[in-house]
Amino acid sequence: MTNPYQQAFETSLKDPVAFWGEAAQGIHWDKPWDKVLDDTHAPFYRWFVGAETNTCYNAVDRHVADGRGDQAAIIYDSPVSGTKRIITYTELQDQVSRLAGGLAGLGVTKGDRVLLYMPMIPEAVIGMLAAARLGAIHTVVFGGFAPSELATRINDAAPKVILSASCGIEGSRVLPYKPMLDQAIDLSAHKPGHTVIYQRPQAVADMKAGVDLDWTELTAASEPHACVTVKATDPLYILYTSGTTGQPKGVVRDNGGHMVALKWTMSAIYDIKPGEVFWAASDVGWVVGHSYICYAPLLHGATTVVYEGKPVGTPDAGAFWRMIAEYKVSALFTAPTAFRAIKREDPDAKLLQQYDLSSLRTLFLAGERSDPDTINWASSNLKVPVIDHWWQTETGWAIAANCMGLHQFPVKPGSPTKPVPGWGLEVLDESHQPCEPGKVGSLVVRLPLPPGALVTLWNADQRCHDSYYSEFPGYYKTADAGYIDEDGYAYVMARTDDIINVAGHRLSTGAMEEVLASHPDVAECAVIGVADQLKGQLPLGFVCLKAGVSKSHEQVIKEVVQLVRERIGPVAAFKTCTVVARLPKTRSGKILRGTMQKIADNQDFKMPATIDDPAILDEIEESLESVGYAKARKEAGQ
């Protein structure tokens, strides 16, 4: 007998038009669609062609009209600033519509870009919704990126207005944002017309007359602006993510398909009802923050949580438990690294015993591979199902999950369970043939991708095609390797490109190499991701110096570490680098990063047949030992 998951999965692939047409009933449309799916520009598919709608209306106004005005829309809790605030749907509507009015007064109209560089305060969500209300396209840049990364995004998105705050707060450190924003605008060829700054008392920003506007004053002085009707296929946002080079990829999401998919996931995957509290402990700067702090919970009429703090240290490893108990959180979604951090501080979960966590039904984990230890620790202490699910910035929502609202499968630690309805997940080998169950290959998704997945890359259709559709015609390439077992469970093993995952944050080692290579003393370099008990992976650099460099190795290392922090930002967590005489390469000159990574992580490796000089691997091993890696190899006599 088929269960509801099986039924939904099969229908979604056999008849996506019927499946998503049905799911679309959950959304308010100003005008219905002419066609659910337009495949005339495959592999670029479009959903709900001809329909008109507004995302902000569906996320905010609709709930006020339906009588949810007094319900909490956003719970803001900031242990780092000692602030708590509940914003009802009515208040949210007022603030969003006034900010939209202010933005309209600055000339923002449909299709214009609005960039946000914001800490985790409710104004970040308000800013996104205000842009959506006007049919403008928002692009949020994570606060941990440095000014030059911000400048790259300003240049590419060419925003008319930038929304920011005077500072962010990281643990006990106040980080002034405005000087970084000013520096980024100086570096950027594109200049926004205005910046709107939310002043926080922890560090009040200096404002430039005529250019910088005060958020609170602008909002207070503006009339509420109505929702602007847009096409379902118009872009809602651009979210930049790491590609294999220093130039980030601007993932474009549409309005209609995005709403349909996200609203559907709230019940099908997360089993959340309108009115319940759903907490995604991430950051609005990441896709998880876009989908599950801002849009999905609000589209569903649930209550979302904006938490400005860490899992540990703000003030202790009981921070998450306090939040769950205080706000009666039904589902928590975070990255495994957060639980590793909590487990490290409070291995016996003593702090957890002090709180009433009876509201919590499920813990969802994503962003990186969930290690079985973390899953077991979390499920035995929380006594709720711990659901790993796998997704990417590009996909916007989970490709594989245990769909709690459809059918709960037994958890197999290490697997995000089964492909979610909509995702025709397959595993292909190098000759594009399907792999047997259990055999590792490329994880690919048969086209069309479901609604809510990327539409294209901003200003870069060809790059989108080359990155995702060209290698496996008819499929989307996830760039993750993995397998599907005999029970249909998916396993995600590793990226097939040079993306690494640090504390659930996606980073490009290629981008870090570009920074190292720009140092005047560096002749050649490589960056690899090495295993880390807390953050999953950490970047580790190797540099070969130019002939005649007289500086000490320590000095060069200090400088390149600082350079990555300045150019990419603290989020890169690039702290370890070593100087080597040569890098191991194939005879055709390709650096053997994979082999270096295996040595660093004490894994077995096969000597690459095409290696130019095997002796270099011994040099690499020695150098890795000097920075605390590859030690177990020698002990094991490998």
Residues of the shown chain interacting with ligand AMP in the complex, contacts defined by CB under 6 A? 241, 287, 366-370, 388-393, 416, 480, 492, 495, 501, 506
Q: Residue 292 Cβ, how far from ligand AMP at the closest point, in Å? A: 12
Told to check if 176 binds ligand COA by CB under 6 A, we report no
Contact 549, 581 (CB under 8 A): no
Told to check if 175 binds ligand COA by CB under 6 A, we report yes
Interface segment toward ligand COA; rule CB under 6 A; list 15-23, 76-84, 351-359, 502-510: 502-510
Three-state DSSP class for residue 247:
coil
Q: Which is nearer to ligand AMP, 495 or 567 (CB)?
A: 495
Q: Which of 12, 219, 291, 334 binds ligand COA (CB under 6 A)?
A: 334
Q: Which two tokens stand for residue 91?
A: 């208040």
Calculate ∠ Cα 236-253-20, nearest 5°: 105
Contact 558, 625 (CB under 8 A): no
- Contact string (CB under 6 A) for ligand COA, positions 355-374, x = contact: ------------x-------
Q: Count other Cβ atoms within 10 Å, centred on residue 141.
A: 25
Using the structure block, give the residue that is written with the tokens 């719970």.
75
Q: Which is nearer to ligand AMP, 328 or 506 (CB)?
A: 506
Rounded CA-CA distance 60/27 in Å is 12
Told to check if 341 binds ligand COA by CB under 6 A, we report yes
Q: Which is nearer to ligand AMP, 301 or 529 (CB)?
A: 529
Q: Which two tokens stand for residue 634?
A: 């020698």
Burial 342-378 (b: 16+ CB within 10 A, else e): bbeebeebebbeebebeebbbbbbbbbbbbeebbebb
Q: Which two tokens stand for residue 508?
A: 């490009």
Q: Residue 398 Cβ, how far from ligand COA at the closest point, in Å? A: 12
Using the structure block, give the residue that is written with the tokens 């000095």.
555
Q: Which two tokens stand for residue 368?
A: 């990186």
Q: Which is nearer to ligand COA, 449 or 568 (CB)?
A: 568
Tell me the H-state helices in 505-552.
Answer: 509-517
Rounded CA-CA distance 287/295 in Å is 11
Q: Which is nearer to ligand COA, 450 or 504 (CB)?
A: 504
341 binds, among ligand AMP, ligand COA, none (CB under 5 to 8 A by kind): ligand COA
**According to CB under 6 A, which residues from 252 to 281 bind ligand COA?**
281
Q: Which is nearer to ligand COA, 54 or 374 (CB)?
A: 374
Told to check if 537 binds ligand COA by CB under 6 A, we report no
Rounded CA-CA distance 1/169 in Å is 53
Contact 79, 317 (CB under 8 A): no
Using the structure block, give the residue that is written with the tokens 């048969």.
446
Q: Residue 391 Cβ, how far from ligand AMP at the closest point, in Å? A: 6
Q: Which of 335, 443, 454, 455 binds ligand COA (CB under 6 A)?
A: 335
Length of the chain: 638
74 binds, among ligand COA, ligand AMP, none (CB under 5 to 8 A by kind): none
Q: Residue 283 Cβ, how far from ligand COA at the closest point, in Å? A: 5
Told to check if 168 binds ligand COA by CB under 6 A, we report yes
> For ligand COA, how many residues bind (rule: CB under 6 A)?
26
Sign of CA dihedral 50, 55, 59, 65: negative
Q: Which is nearer to ligand COA, 89 or 145 (CB)?
A: 145
Q: Which is nearer to ligand AMP, 128 or 287 (CB)?
A: 287
369 binds, among ligand AMP, ligand COA, none (CB under 5 to 8 A by kind): ligand AMP
Rounded CA-CA distance 268/402 in Å is 10
Q: Residue 271 Cβ, how far from ligand COA at the closest point, in Å? A: 19
**According to CB under 6 A, which residues from 541 to 580 bind ligand COA?**
570-571, 573
Q: Which of 338, 453, 530, 545 binds ligand COA (CB under 6 A)?
A: 338
Identity of the residue numbered 540: L
Identity of the residue numbered 61: D
Q: Residue 482 Cβ, how far from ligand AMP at the closest point, in Å? A: 8
Chain-centre distance for alpha carbon 33:
30
Rounded CA-CA distance 120/282 in Å is 9
Nearest to 153 by CA among 237, 244, 236, 247: 247
Closest residue to ligand AMP in the complex (CB) = 506
Using the structure block, give the residue that is written with the tokens 């460099």.
549
Q: Residue 364 Cβ, how far from ligand COA at the closest point, in Å? A: 10
Q: Which is nearer to ligand AMP, 148 or 393 (CB)?
A: 393
Identity of the residue numbered 39: D
Q: Which is nearer to ligand AMP, 337 or 381 (CB)?
A: 337
Query: Reduced to 3 DSSP states, what percent helix, strand and coil does the chain have, rounded to the nearest 5?
Result: 35, 25, 40
Q: Residue 89 Cβ, how far from ligand AMP at the closest point, in Å? A: 29
Told to check if 310 binds ligand COA by CB under 6 A, we report yes
Q: Residue 502 Cβ, how far from ligand COA at the closest point, in Å? A: 6
Contact 389, 369 (CB under 8 A): no
Sign of CA dihedral 21, 25, 26, 27: positive
Q: Residue 439 Cβ, how far from ligand COA at the closest point, in Å? A: 29
Chain contacts with ligand COA (rule: CB under 6 A): 143-144, 168, 170, 175, 281-283, 286, 288, 310-311, 334-335, 337-338, 341, 367, 502-505, 535, 570-571, 573
